[in-house]
Structure 1
Amino acid sequence: MRSSPSIVPADRLDRDIYLILEDFGARAGCTWRETDEADTDLETVLRDILSGQYAYPLRIVCFNAIEGWSRDATSDVADALSERIANSDAEVSQALQDFIQAYGTRPFNLQLVLPLPFRSVAYG
C-alpha cells in the first residue's frame, strides 16, 4: 500500500525552534510566550530580546521535532547576547544585564560609553 505524501513541508519542522519562558511578575506569573512560527529561530530570538520584546526571560528551550531532541539553551542565548552587546553600542536594560549575568557562562563586562568633555590645554 502506498502512503500519501505529507502535506507539511519537510523543512518547516526540521530546524531548531526556540521558545522563551518569561516572568510577568507576581500577579501574572510565568508563561511560555506565544510567537509566530517564523520567529522561533535563534537570530530572531536574539534580536527580539535585545529590542526589549521580552522584558524578563527566565528560560529558553530549543528543540528539533524531526530529530527528536530538546535542550535548555538559556546559557547559550545569554552568551550570544553578551557577545552581541559587547560588539555594539546598544542600550541594555537592567533586566537583560541580570539575565546575562545569571545564565551566561562567560564574563559579562558592559562598558558604558560616557561623553568626555573637551578641554583645551595651553602649554606654556
Structure 2
Amino acid sequence: MPRSPSIVPHADPGDVYLVLEDFGGGLGRAWSETSEDDTGRATLMRQIMEGQYKHPARIVVFNTAEGWSRDVTVEIADALRRCFVEFDDVAPAALEFIERVRRN
C-alpha cells in the first residue's frame, strides 16, 4: 500500500507566518492556504499591503525546527504602520487591519 507524503517540510523553512482570515457571515474564520515560498515575514507584509487578505483576524509565526509558535498580530500591524512610505499604494483592507489591531 502506498504511503501518503509527509506534510512536514524536509528542509528547515525558518519562521513560518500564517494568517487566520475572517471570511464573515456563515463562512467564519479559516487559516489561509499559502505556498511554502510565501510564508516569510516580508512576503506576508507585502501581501497584506496589496490587499491579498481581506480581513486578517490573527497572524501566527512558528518554527518547527526550534519548537515554538506565537501570535504576532500586533507586531505585524505595528511594522506595517511604520513602513507605509515603502509602498506606493496601500489596500483599504490593510488600513482596516492596522486600525482594528490598534483599537484592541
* Short-chain TM bin: 0.7 to 0.9
Moved more, 28-37 or 77-86: 77-86
Identity in percent: 45
User: For structure 1, which runs of at least 5 residues remain unmatched after alignment?
Assistant: 1-6, 106-124
The one-letter code matched in structure 2 to 1:51 is: E
Deviation at 1:86, TM superposition (A): 4.1
In structure 2, the gaps of 5 or more residues are 1-8
Alpha-carbon contact 2:50-2:91 (below 8 Å) kept: no
- Decide whether the 8 Å contact of 1:62 with 1:70 is kept in 2: yes
- Normalising by structure 1, report the TM-score: 0.68
Give the equivalent residue in structure 1 for 2:5.
none
Q: Distance in 2 between matches of 1:22 and 1:52?
A: 12
Instruction: Please tell me whether the aligned partners of residues 76 and 104 of structure 1 are also in contact (alpha carbons under 8 angstroms).
Output: no
* Aligned residue in 1 for 2:32: 33
Amino acid at match of 1:34: E
Structure label with greater radius of gyration: 1
Contact 2:50–2:90 (8 Å) recurs in 1: no
Q: TM-score, normalised by structure 2?
A: 0.80
The reply on whether 1:77 has 2:79 as its aligned counterpart is no
CA RMSD in angstroms comes to: 2.0
- Give the C-alpha shift of residue 69 in structure 1: 0.7
Question: Counterpart in 2 of 1:100?
Answer: 98
**Pairs aligned (count):** 95
Secondary structure, counterpart of 1:78 in structure 2: helix
- 1:32–1:91 Cα change, 3 Å: same
Distance 1:50 1:88 in 2: 8
Q: Give the 4+ runs in structure 1 shifted more than 3 A.
A: 86-89
Give the structure with the higher percent helix: 2
